[in-house]
Structure 1
Amino acid sequence: MRGSDDSIQCDGNRVNEDVVLLTLADIEQRLAEKFLPLEGEMDELLLKQRREPVGDICALEQILNVRLSGDFLAFLSRYDLDHFSLGNIAFGTGEDYLAQVIALNQSEAFNRWWPGVSRPEGIIVIALSDPYTLLLNTLNQRVYAITSEPTAADDDPVADSFALFIRGVGSLFLQAAHPQEVASAVGAVNLAFWQEIA
Protein backbone atom coordinates (compact mmCIF):
# COMPACT_ATOMS: atom_id res chain seq x y z
CA MET A 1 0.00 0.00 0.00
CA ARG A 2 2.89 2.36 -0.64
CA GLY A 3 2.46 5.30 -2.92
CA SER A 4 -0.89 5.14 -4.63
CA ASP A 5 -2.30 5.66 -8.03
CA ASP A 6 -5.55 6.84 -6.44
CA SER A 7 -4.06 9.09 -3.77
CA ILE A 8 -4.15 12.80 -4.42
CA GLN A 9 -0.62 13.75 -5.41
CA CYS A 10 -1.11 17.07 -7.18
CA ASP A 11 2.16 18.63 -6.07
CA GLY A 12 4.49 15.69 -6.59
CA ASN A 13 4.98 14.90 -2.89
CA ARG A 14 5.99 11.32 -2.28
CA VAL A 15 5.73 9.35 0.91
CA ASN A 16 8.93 8.02 2.48
CA GLU A 17 9.16 4.55 0.92
CA ASP A 18 10.24 3.01 4.24
CA VAL A 19 6.90 3.85 5.85
CA VAL A 20 3.46 2.65 4.88
CA LEU A 21 0.62 5.15 4.91
CA LEU A 22 -2.87 4.17 3.92
CA THR A 23 -4.02 5.56 0.59
CA LEU A 24 -7.21 7.61 0.36
CA ALA A 25 -8.95 4.59 -1.16
CA ASP A 26 -7.77 2.43 1.76
CA ILE A 27 -9.06 4.98 4.27
CA GLU A 28 -12.40 5.28 2.47
CA GLN A 29 -12.80 1.48 2.40
CA ARG A 30 -11.72 0.85 6.00
CA LEU A 31 -13.98 3.59 7.35
CA ALA A 32 -16.90 2.07 5.43
CA GLU A 33 -16.13 -1.41 6.79
CA LYS A 34 -15.95 -0.04 10.33
CA PHE A 35 -18.90 2.37 10.40
CA LEU A 36 -21.44 1.35 7.71
CA PRO A 37 -22.67 -1.58 9.85
CA LEU A 38 -23.75 0.98 12.50
CA GLU A 39 -26.62 1.97 10.16
CA GLY A 40 -26.29 5.74 10.19
CA GLU A 41 -25.25 6.24 13.80
CA MET A 42 -21.73 7.39 12.87
CA ASP A 43 -22.09 8.60 9.29
CA GLU A 44 -19.85 11.60 9.99
CA LEU A 45 -16.93 9.15 10.19
CA LEU A 46 -17.46 7.91 6.62
CA LEU A 47 -15.35 9.37 3.83
CA LYS A 48 -18.04 9.81 1.18
CA GLN A 49 -17.53 10.53 -2.48
CA ARG A 50 -19.08 13.84 -3.51
CA ARG A 51 -22.44 13.38 -5.29
CA GLU A 52 -22.94 17.02 -6.24
CA PRO A 53 -20.43 19.58 -7.49
CA VAL A 54 -18.52 21.40 -4.78
CA GLY A 55 -19.99 24.77 -3.78
CA ASP A 56 -18.80 28.19 -4.84
CA ILE A 57 -15.03 27.97 -4.40
CA CYS A 58 -14.59 31.28 -6.23
CA ALA A 59 -16.70 33.05 -3.59
CA LEU A 60 -14.57 31.55 -0.79
CA GLU A 61 -11.39 32.62 -2.58
CA GLN A 62 -12.66 36.17 -3.07
CA ILE A 63 -13.97 36.59 0.47
CA LEU A 64 -10.84 35.18 2.13
CA ASN A 65 -8.38 36.48 -0.48
CA VAL A 66 -6.78 33.07 -1.06
CA ARG A 67 -6.32 30.74 -4.01
CA LEU A 68 -7.14 27.08 -3.40
CA SER A 69 -5.11 24.58 -5.38
CA GLY A 70 -3.33 21.24 -5.22
CA ASP A 71 -4.31 18.47 -2.85
CA PHE A 72 -6.86 20.44 -0.88
CA LEU A 73 -8.83 21.55 -3.93
CA ALA A 74 -8.69 18.03 -5.39
CA PHE A 75 -9.94 16.57 -2.09
CA LEU A 76 -12.80 19.10 -1.89
CA SER A 77 -13.81 18.21 -5.43
CA ARG A 78 -13.78 14.47 -4.74
CA TYR A 79 -15.16 14.12 -1.20
CA ASP A 80 -18.09 15.55 0.75
CA LEU A 81 -16.76 17.37 3.82
CA ASP A 82 -20.06 18.94 4.92
CA HIS A 83 -20.42 16.38 7.73
CA PHE A 84 -17.08 14.64 8.12
CA SER A 85 -14.63 13.89 10.92
CA LEU A 86 -11.52 11.77 10.68
CA GLY A 87 -10.71 10.52 14.15
CA ASN A 88 -10.98 13.60 16.34
CA ILE A 89 -10.33 16.03 13.45
CA ALA A 90 -13.65 17.67 12.51
CA PHE A 91 -14.00 19.20 9.06
CA GLY A 92 -17.72 19.84 8.48
CA THR A 93 -20.32 19.79 11.23
CA GLY A 94 -23.46 19.19 9.18
CA GLU A 95 -23.60 22.50 7.34
CA ASP A 96 -22.01 23.68 4.10
CA TYR A 97 -18.27 23.11 4.58
CA LEU A 98 -17.20 26.06 2.43
CA ALA A 99 -19.50 28.41 4.37
CA GLN A 100 -18.00 27.07 7.59
CA VAL A 101 -14.46 27.73 6.34
CA ILE A 102 -15.43 31.29 5.43
CA ALA A 103 -16.99 31.86 8.87
CA LEU A 104 -13.94 30.50 10.70
CA ASN A 105 -11.58 32.79 8.81
CA GLN A 106 -13.34 36.15 8.79
CA SER A 107 -12.03 39.07 10.83
CA GLU A 108 -15.30 39.64 12.62
CA ALA A 109 -15.56 36.02 13.76
CA PHE A 110 -15.98 35.60 17.51
CA ASN A 111 -13.37 32.86 17.56
CA ARG A 112 -10.72 34.71 15.54
CA TRP A 113 -7.64 32.48 15.64
CA TRP A 114 -4.89 34.94 14.71
CA PRO A 115 -3.32 37.69 16.81
CA GLY A 116 -3.49 41.26 15.58
CA VAL A 117 -5.83 42.80 13.05
CA SER A 118 -5.19 40.91 9.80
CA ARG A 119 -5.32 37.19 9.16
CA PRO A 120 -1.91 35.95 7.96
CA GLU A 121 -1.74 36.01 4.17
CA GLY A 122 -2.77 32.77 2.49
CA ILE A 123 -3.49 30.88 5.72
CA ILE A 124 -6.95 29.50 6.56
CA VAL A 125 -8.53 27.21 9.13
CA ILE A 126 -9.64 23.97 7.47
CA ALA A 127 -10.54 21.79 10.47
CA LEU A 128 -10.84 21.75 14.25
CA SER A 129 -9.80 19.30 16.92
CA ASP A 130 -9.41 19.42 20.67
CA PRO A 131 -7.11 21.25 21.39
CA TYR A 132 -5.93 22.02 17.85
CA THR A 133 -6.99 24.36 15.08
CA LEU A 134 -5.76 22.99 11.74
CA LEU A 135 -4.47 25.52 9.24
CA LEU A 136 -3.65 25.26 5.55
CA ASN A 137 -1.08 27.58 4.05
CA THR A 138 -2.52 28.01 0.57
CA LEU A 139 0.77 29.47 -0.66
CA ASN A 140 2.98 26.45 0.08
CA GLN A 141 0.25 23.80 0.70
CA ARG A 142 1.62 22.84 4.15
CA VAL A 143 -0.65 22.02 7.09
CA TYR A 144 -0.10 23.49 10.57
CA ALA A 145 -1.68 22.88 13.99
CA ILE A 146 -2.05 25.59 16.61
CA THR A 147 -3.61 25.73 20.07
CA SER A 148 -5.10 28.63 22.01
CA GLU A 149 -1.77 28.95 23.83
CA PRO A 150 0.87 30.05 21.27
CA THR A 151 4.06 27.96 21.21
CA ALA A 152 7.17 27.79 19.06
CA ALA A 153 5.73 24.64 17.43
CA ASP A 154 2.95 26.75 15.83
CA ASP A 155 5.42 27.72 13.10
CA ASP A 156 6.33 24.09 12.34
CA PRO A 157 4.27 22.16 9.77
CA VAL A 158 2.53 18.93 10.74
CA ALA A 159 2.48 17.80 7.09
CA ASP A 160 4.04 18.83 3.78
CA SER A 161 0.68 18.69 2.00
CA PHE A 162 -3.01 18.23 2.66
CA ALA A 163 -3.07 14.75 1.08
CA LEU A 164 -0.23 13.59 3.32
CA PHE A 165 -2.03 15.09 6.32
CA ILE A 166 -5.24 13.17 5.56
CA ARG A 167 -3.33 9.96 4.88
CA GLY A 168 -1.41 10.40 8.14
CA VAL A 169 -4.50 11.04 10.26
CA GLY A 170 -6.33 8.15 8.59
CA SER A 171 -3.40 5.80 9.14
CA LEU A 172 -3.27 6.71 12.84
CA PHE A 173 -7.04 6.55 13.36
CA LEU A 174 -7.28 3.17 11.68
CA GLN A 175 -4.19 1.93 13.57
CA ALA A 176 -2.17 1.24 10.45
CA ALA A 177 0.94 3.17 11.56
CA HIS A 178 2.65 4.60 14.65
CA PRO A 179 2.85 8.35 15.32
CA GLN A 180 6.60 8.58 14.78
CA GLU A 181 6.34 6.73 11.45
CA VAL A 182 3.48 8.95 10.34
CA ALA A 183 5.29 12.14 11.34
CA SER A 184 8.32 11.08 9.29
CA ALA A 185 6.23 10.03 6.29
CA VAL A 186 4.25 13.25 6.08
CA GLY A 187 7.28 15.53 6.50
CA ALA A 188 6.23 16.88 9.91
CA VAL A 189 8.46 19.23 11.85
CA ASN A 190 5.88 19.51 14.66
CA LEU A 191 6.15 15.94 16.00
CA ALA A 192 4.16 16.57 19.20
CA PHE A 193 0.94 16.92 17.19
CA TRP A 194 1.12 13.35 15.90
CA GLN A 195 1.91 11.97 19.35
CA GLU A 196 -1.03 13.78 20.90
CA ILE A 197 -3.71 12.82 18.37
CA ALA A 198 -2.72 9.13 18.31
Structure 2
Amino acid sequence: MKATEIAAQQHGEAVKLREDTAAILGRLMLVEMTVLPGRVAATLRALHAGIEWETAAMGIKSGQALITALDEASLSFVAVAETVEDRIHNLPNALGPDAGTLIGASRSLNDLAKRMRAKIRVMQDPGDLGGKSHVLYAGAFSEFRGLRKQLSWMLNASIQYAGNFQDFVGVARTDYKDLDALIDPETK
Protein backbone atom coordinates (compact mmCIF):
# COMPACT_ATOMS: atom_id res chain seq x y z
CA MET A 1 0.00 0.00 0.00
CA LYS A 2 1.32 3.45 -0.91
CA ALA A 3 1.70 6.21 1.64
CA THR A 4 -1.01 8.28 -0.09
CA GLU A 5 -3.44 5.35 0.11
CA ILE A 6 -2.66 4.85 3.78
CA ALA A 7 -3.16 8.56 4.46
CA ALA A 8 -6.45 8.52 2.54
CA GLN A 9 -7.61 5.46 4.49
CA GLN A 10 -6.67 7.06 7.81
CA HIS A 11 -8.43 10.26 6.82
CA GLY A 12 -11.55 8.29 5.88
CA GLU A 13 -11.49 6.48 9.22
CA ALA A 14 -11.09 9.79 11.09
CA VAL A 15 -14.02 11.31 9.19
CA LYS A 16 -16.16 8.23 9.90
CA LEU A 17 -15.26 8.37 13.61
CA ARG A 18 -16.20 12.06 13.73
CA GLU A 19 -19.52 11.43 11.98
CA ASP A 20 -20.33 8.50 14.30
CA THR A 21 -19.44 10.60 17.34
CA ALA A 22 -21.60 13.46 16.04
CA ALA A 23 -24.54 11.09 15.55
CA ILE A 24 -24.24 9.84 19.13
CA LEU A 25 -23.91 13.38 20.47
CA GLY A 26 -26.98 14.34 18.48
CA ARG A 27 -29.04 11.65 20.15
CA LEU A 28 -27.63 12.45 23.61
CA MET A 29 -28.45 16.14 23.28
CA LEU A 30 -31.70 15.92 21.28
CA VAL A 31 -34.23 16.06 24.11
CA GLU A 32 -32.32 18.77 25.99
CA MET A 33 -32.05 20.99 22.92
CA THR A 34 -35.68 20.39 21.97
CA VAL A 35 -37.04 21.36 25.40
CA LEU A 36 -34.49 24.15 26.00
CA PRO A 37 -36.64 26.95 24.53
CA GLY A 38 -39.57 25.92 26.73
CA ARG A 39 -37.41 25.85 29.87
CA VAL A 40 -35.98 29.28 29.15
CA ALA A 41 -39.46 30.61 28.33
CA ALA A 42 -40.88 29.25 31.61
CA THR A 43 -38.11 30.99 33.54
CA LEU A 44 -38.73 34.21 31.64
CA ARG A 45 -42.48 33.97 32.33
CA ALA A 46 -41.80 33.50 36.05
CA LEU A 47 -39.54 36.55 36.00
CA HIS A 48 -42.26 38.57 34.25
CA ALA A 49 -44.77 37.43 36.88
CA GLY A 50 -42.40 38.29 39.71
CA ILE A 51 -41.47 41.86 38.78
CA GLU A 52 -43.67 44.92 38.29
CA TRP A 53 -42.13 46.20 35.06
CA GLU A 54 -44.67 48.81 34.03
CA THR A 55 -44.27 51.30 36.85
CA ALA A 56 -41.54 53.92 37.10
CA ALA A 57 -40.45 52.41 40.41
CA MET A 58 -39.95 48.75 39.56
CA GLY A 59 -40.90 46.44 42.37
CA ILE A 60 -41.65 42.87 43.30
CA LYS A 61 -45.10 41.81 42.18
CA SER A 62 -44.88 38.17 43.29
CA GLY A 63 -42.10 37.08 45.59
CA GLN A 64 -42.76 33.39 44.93
CA ALA A 65 -42.62 33.85 41.14
CA LEU A 66 -39.42 35.86 41.48
CA ILE A 67 -37.77 33.22 43.66
CA THR A 68 -38.89 30.51 41.23
CA ALA A 69 -37.37 32.43 38.31
CA LEU A 70 -34.05 32.95 40.09
CA ASP A 71 -33.91 29.35 41.30
CA GLU A 72 -34.60 28.03 37.79
CA ALA A 73 -32.10 30.41 36.21
CA SER A 74 -29.50 29.19 38.74
CA LEU A 75 -29.69 25.66 37.30
CA SER A 76 -27.88 24.66 34.13
CA PHE A 77 -30.08 24.92 31.08
CA VAL A 78 -27.76 22.59 29.14
CA ALA A 79 -26.49 20.01 31.62
CA VAL A 80 -26.18 17.24 29.02
CA ALA A 81 -24.26 19.48 26.61
CA GLU A 82 -21.92 20.40 29.47
CA THR A 83 -21.15 16.72 30.10
CA VAL A 84 -20.10 16.25 26.47
CA GLU A 85 -18.53 19.69 26.09
CA ASP A 86 -15.14 18.26 25.18
CA ARG A 87 -16.68 16.44 22.18
CA ILE A 88 -19.06 19.05 20.74
CA HIS A 89 -16.41 19.98 18.16
CA ASN A 90 -17.46 16.76 16.41
CA LEU A 91 -20.86 18.25 15.59
CA PRO A 92 -21.12 19.47 11.99
CA ASN A 93 -21.04 23.03 10.69
CA ALA A 94 -21.92 25.65 13.28
CA LEU A 95 -23.67 23.24 15.66
CA GLY A 96 -20.56 22.68 17.78
CA PRO A 97 -19.61 26.35 18.18
CA ASP A 98 -23.27 27.28 18.74
CA ALA A 99 -23.55 24.60 21.44
CA GLY A 100 -20.51 26.19 23.04
CA THR A 101 -22.26 29.55 22.92
CA LEU A 102 -25.33 28.10 24.64
CA ILE A 103 -23.15 26.47 27.31
CA GLY A 104 -21.45 29.81 27.96
CA ALA A 105 -24.78 31.66 28.02
CA SER A 106 -26.21 29.13 30.47
CA ARG A 107 -23.23 29.50 32.78
CA SER A 108 -23.46 33.28 32.62
CA LEU A 109 -27.17 33.16 33.45
CA ASN A 110 -26.54 30.69 36.28
CA ASP A 111 -23.92 32.96 37.81
CA LEU A 112 -26.06 36.10 37.53
CA ALA A 113 -29.13 34.37 38.98
CA LYS A 114 -27.16 32.96 41.91
CA ARG A 115 -25.76 36.40 42.70
CA MET A 116 -29.22 37.94 42.50
CA ARG A 117 -30.80 35.12 44.55
CA ALA A 118 -28.28 35.85 47.31
CA LYS A 119 -29.74 39.38 47.52
CA ILE A 120 -33.28 38.14 48.19
CA ARG A 121 -34.57 38.53 51.73
CA VAL A 122 -37.79 36.88 52.86
CA MET A 123 -39.24 38.76 55.80
CA GLN A 124 -42.00 37.22 57.90
CA ASP A 125 -44.76 39.62 58.88
CA PRO A 126 -44.75 39.42 62.72
CA GLY A 127 -48.31 40.71 62.99
CA ASP A 128 -49.76 38.10 60.64
CA LEU A 129 -50.58 34.78 62.32
CA GLY A 130 -51.00 33.20 58.89
CA GLY A 131 -47.27 33.45 58.32
CA LYS A 132 -47.47 36.00 55.52
CA SER A 133 -44.06 36.99 54.24
CA HIS A 134 -42.61 39.76 52.11
CA VAL A 135 -39.83 39.35 49.62
CA LEU A 136 -37.29 42.15 49.45
CA TYR A 137 -34.42 42.64 47.03
CA ALA A 138 -31.20 44.11 48.42
CA GLY A 139 -29.77 45.01 45.02
CA ALA A 140 -30.52 47.34 42.13
CA PHE A 141 -33.72 46.55 40.28
CA SER A 142 -31.89 47.32 37.03
CA GLU A 143 -30.30 43.88 37.49
CA PHE A 144 -33.69 42.36 36.66
CA ARG A 145 -33.65 44.14 33.30
CA GLY A 146 -30.24 42.60 32.64
CA LEU A 147 -31.49 39.15 33.61
CA ARG A 148 -34.55 39.60 31.41
CA LYS A 149 -32.33 40.57 28.45
CA GLN A 150 -30.06 37.57 28.96
CA LEU A 151 -33.01 35.18 29.23
CA SER A 152 -34.60 36.75 26.16
CA TRP A 153 -31.36 36.41 24.19
CA MET A 154 -31.02 32.78 25.26
CA LEU A 155 -34.61 32.08 24.30
CA ASN A 156 -34.06 33.48 20.81
CA ALA A 157 -30.76 31.60 20.40
CA SER A 158 -32.20 28.35 21.74
CA ILE A 159 -35.18 28.46 19.34
CA GLN A 160 -32.84 28.85 16.38
CA TYR A 161 -30.44 26.20 17.65
CA ALA A 162 -33.19 23.69 18.43
CA GLY A 163 -34.45 23.83 14.86
CA ASN A 164 -30.98 23.43 13.37
CA PHE A 165 -30.20 20.63 15.80
CA GLN A 166 -33.43 18.80 14.99
CA ASP A 167 -32.57 19.09 11.28
CA PHE A 168 -29.16 17.53 11.97
CA VAL A 169 -30.60 14.62 13.96
CA GLY A 170 -33.32 14.11 11.36
CA VAL A 171 -36.44 14.73 13.40
CA ALA A 172 -39.29 17.10 12.64
CA ARG A 173 -38.75 20.68 13.75
CA THR A 174 -40.71 21.81 16.77
CA ASP A 175 -42.81 24.94 16.29
CA TYR A 176 -41.86 27.50 18.92
CA LYS A 177 -43.96 30.38 17.52
CA ASP A 178 -45.88 30.72 20.79
CA LEU A 179 -42.59 31.63 22.51
CA ASP A 180 -41.64 34.44 20.11
CA ALA A 181 -43.77 36.98 21.98
CA LEU A 182 -41.53 36.61 25.03
CA ILE A 183 -38.38 37.65 23.15
CA ASP A 184 -37.27 41.21 23.79
CA PRO A 185 -37.03 42.89 20.35
CA GLU A 186 -33.64 44.34 21.34
CA THR A 187 -32.19 40.81 21.66
CA LYS A 188 -33.27 39.54 18.24
**Shared fold per TM-score greater than 0.5:** no
* Larger Rg belongs to: 2
Give the helix-richer structure, 1 or 2: 2
TM-score, with normalisation over the residues of structure 2? 0.26
The alignment's TM-score, normalised by the length of structure 1, stands at 0.25
